[in-house]
């Protein structure tokens, strides 16, 4: 799998290096647009055959651009042409960005050396400690320099080989509002609980604060203005922390993570849509999947239908259950927290879906049937 490491360029960047970056931005942008025009003039070519139609011409036009960088501009142009919805309008590239292959740059101290407009230039970077293991131990891929809010950033793709695991357990992850996440295994053990009431309430307060701030500035300045989206960053940070804990539990118990497939129930009722607006559940699921893939942990998705209404002991479906926080089974008398009951059922559903008789999971299935 690939991981993108985004690092900020240090303020100690020299004036000469900054000038070279800006000059290369202009040449790279113009080169991409020239490749687009050459492709259209020769029948909308979207393969690397485009090189023979315009390489010599553009090499003479941009003598300061390294040949590898010019070919990267061609690849960007091909990507734009492939993603263009119609061939009636000519797409235009106007981003401040430069791309380099892994053979054209190298790491040096706390920075990189890249070819910019006729000479190799050193660019110092802020490299977090968590990124150093990737830069030193894994194969580096494409490097991209881009500009955002008047700051320069560098993105390096890294090819990561996740560890091979042979899971012997299954954990179910239930998502909700009262409890953002409840994690349990098929044997009924609660492994993690993240209370959601206070977190969601704080997020809603942030939303109101930013809405008032934007309304005030719009009124004073008499024009639309942008006041940031701190509440979204807060949600992303919490989701990162939750995903990290879930994956750590899966590593500890050598387990498969079973998630709800929320796409099947999201659009069915107004109450369900209101519930999903309160928190970024899709973002949380994406982060769990990404971190699990990085650690070689398998992910399984199941239909969440009746997971909170089914008894985790006798499998009786209590259809009369509404908004109660405690699940009471009229068949066997089980009293259990509703979200914990759902997490156990999710784990059991995942266990039933894994039907290989020779896997270690089959032994776990027999143990759970005996409980």
Query: How confident is the model at residue 230, as a pLDDT?
Result: 63
Query: How confident is the model at residue 190, as a pLDDT?
Result: 93
> Cα(126)–Cα(110) distance, rounded to whole angstroms?
7
Query: How confident is the model at residue 367, as a pLDDT?
Result: 58
User: Crossing angle of helices 338-353/360-370, nearest 10°?
Assistant: 130
Question: Which residues are CB-neighbours of 186 under 8 A, at least 6 positions away?
Answer: 170, 172, 344, 347, 348, 350, 351, 364, 365, 368
Query: How confident is the model at residue 262, as a pLDDT?
Result: 77
User: Crossing angle of helices 230-252/281-294, nearest 10°?
Assistant: 40
- Least Cα distance to 27 among 79, 67, 84, 83 occurs for 67
Query: How confident is the model at residue 54, as a pLDDT?
Result: 92
pLDDT tens-digit profile of 246-272?
999 999 999 999 998 877 554 555 665
Query: By the 8 A CB rule, do 112 and 154 touch?
Result: yes
User: Crossing angle of helices 67-83/15-41, nearest 10°?
Assistant: 50
And the tokens for 152?
């320069």
Query: How confident is the model at residue 362, as a pLDDT?
Result: 58
Query: How confident is the model at residue 76, as a pLDDT?
Result: 95
> Structural domains in the chain?
2-159 (no CATH), 169-197+228-370 (3.30.420)
And the tokens for 318?
């209590």
Helix, strand or coil for residue 318? Answer: coil
Q: What is the pTM of this model?
A: 0.75
Please list the ranges in the chain whose pLDDT falls under 50.
266
Query: How confident is the model at residue 164, as a pLDDT?
Result: 85
> Cα(186)–Cα(168) distance, rounded to whole angstroms?
12
> Cα(160)–Cα(54) distance, rounded to whole angstroms?
35
Query: How confident is the model at residue 225, as a pLDDT?
Result: 62
Query: By the 8 A CB rule, do 328 and 348 touch?
Result: no
Query: How confident is the model at residue 22, as a pLDDT?
Result: 95
- Least Cα distance to 1 among 109, 138, 93 occurs for 138
Question: Where in the chain does DSSP place strands (E)?
Answer: 2-9, 97-100, 106-108, 111-116, 119-126, 139-148, 151-159, 169-175, 179-185, 190-195, 255-260, 299-302, 326-328, 335-337
């Amino acid at each position: 799998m690939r991981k993108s490491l985004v690092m900020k360029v240090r303020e100690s960047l020299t004036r000469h290096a900054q000038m070279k970056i800006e000059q290369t931005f202009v040449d790279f942008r113009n080169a991409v647009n020239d490749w687009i025009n050459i492709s259209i003039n020769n029948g909308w070519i979207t393969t690397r055959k485009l090189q023979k139609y315009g390489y010599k011409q553009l090499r003479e036009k941009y003598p300061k651009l390294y040949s590898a960088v010019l070919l990267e501009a061609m690849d960007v142009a091909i990507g734009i042409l492939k993603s263009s919805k119609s061939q009636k309008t000519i797409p235009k590239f106007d981003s401040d960005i430069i791309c380099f292959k892994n053979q054209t740059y190298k790491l040096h101290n706390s920075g990189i050396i890249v070819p910019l407009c006729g000479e190799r230039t050193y660019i110092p970077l802020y490299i977090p400690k968590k990124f150093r293991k990737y830069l030193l131990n894994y194969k580096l891929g494409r490097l991209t320099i881009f500009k955002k809010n008047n700051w320069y950033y560098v993105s390096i793709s890294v090819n990561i080989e996740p560890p091979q695991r042979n899971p012997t357990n299954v954990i179910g992850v239930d998502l909700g509002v009262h409890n953002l996440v409840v994690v349990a295994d098929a044997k009924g053990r609660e492994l993690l609980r993240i209370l959601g009431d206070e977190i969601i309430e704080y997020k809603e307060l942030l939303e109101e604060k930013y809405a008032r701030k934007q309304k005030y500035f719009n009124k004073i300045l008499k024009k639309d203005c942008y006041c940031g989206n701190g509440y979204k960053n807060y949600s992303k940070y919490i989701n990162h922390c939750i995903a990290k804990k879930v994956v750590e539990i899966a590593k500890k118990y050598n387990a498969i993570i079973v998630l709800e497939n929320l796409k099947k129930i999201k659009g069915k009722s107004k109450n369900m849509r209101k519930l999903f607006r309160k928190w970024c559940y899709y973002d949380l699921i994406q982060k769990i999947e990404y971190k699990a893939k990085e650690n070689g942990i398998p992910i399984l998705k199941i239909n969440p239908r009746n997971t909170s209404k089914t008894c985790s002991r006798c499998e009786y479906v209590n259809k009369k259950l509404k908004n109660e926080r405690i699940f009471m089974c009229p068949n066997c008398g089980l009293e259990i927290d509703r979200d914990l009951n759902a997490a156990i059922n999710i784990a059991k559903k995942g266990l039933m879906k894994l039907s290989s008789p020779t896997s270690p999971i089959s032994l776990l299935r027999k143990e759970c049937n005996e409980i």
